[in-house]
Amino acid sequence: MTKSLINTFTKKFNLAINNNTQNIVEITVLEECYDYSNIYYNISYRFDKLPTFMLEHKDNNSPILKNNLTESMIKYLLMDYDEMKKNIGEINPKLYKVFIMKSLCNFWNINTV
């Protein structure tokens, strides 16, 4: 199987909902092409403290097929909080990122690549 790297994105955010605490997450997204056909995202997270919602997914970072939906999710996952606030209504942008992270776990292509 041939894999080629197309792009790399890295961002750091404080995911702690309480403003008096910190839980920094570093998100790295690799955009990769497999066998010269489909493009996939390979997402990795590095947390100061692993959140409960990621415990069942901590050892899995299988590729996610790039399509219109996952492309938008990645865009919002990497978006700064101030920019997100302009686009998501009244929901807390930190929670919105958590919802995106949880959702992306459901798109892992465990048996595809």
Between the alpha carbon of residue 78 and those of residues 2, 18, 37, the distances in Å are: 27, 20, 25
pLDDT tens per residue across span 89-112:
999 999 999 999 989 988 876 555
CB 84 within 8 A of CB 96: yes
pLDDT tens per residue across span 8-64:
999 999 988 777 788 899 999 999 998 778 899 999 999 888 877 777 766 556 789
Q: Which residue ranges make up each domain of the chain?
A: 3-105
Outline where the chain has alpha helix (H).
Answer: 68-78, 81-85, 93-105
